[in-house]
Amino acid sequence: MLPATLQQAVVLMTVALGTTSLGQAGFVANMSDIAPRQAGKMFGLCNTFGSLSGIVGVTAVGFIVEATNSFSPVFQLTAGLYVLGTLVWWLLATGERNIELDKGGACV
């Protein structure tokens, strides 16, 4: 289904981006559950890698569009990465602590 008007396209993009933002609540809460004392450091590390992927992604999109003269491969790659990320999250992410820490925050 392709949007017939610009307004429909804007609504669909807004819904898509808003839906992806719903995952942030679980993302942040999981880090706080796993490592309460180091949650800030973990969140900073995740944001760093997220920023780096945003920088690399813009360059990659430029190369893909230049090579294919289309945005379709970019959207297909994005959809595939979302599916892969969801599968990895379902299979590997838990709220259980895997490392025991002493009162100072060091690994035991």
How far, in Å, CA of 19 to CA of 37, rounded?
Answer: 30
- Give the number of residues written for the chain: 108
pTM for this structure? 0.54
pLDDT of amino acid 108: 54
Dist CA 46 CA 31 (whole Å): 10
Chain-wide mean pLDDT for the chain?
Answer: 83
7-52 pLDDT, tens per residue? 888 898 899 888 877 777 777 777 777 777 788 888 888 889 888 8
The backbone torsions φ and ψ at residue 77, rounded to the nearest 5 degrees and listed phi first, read -65, -40
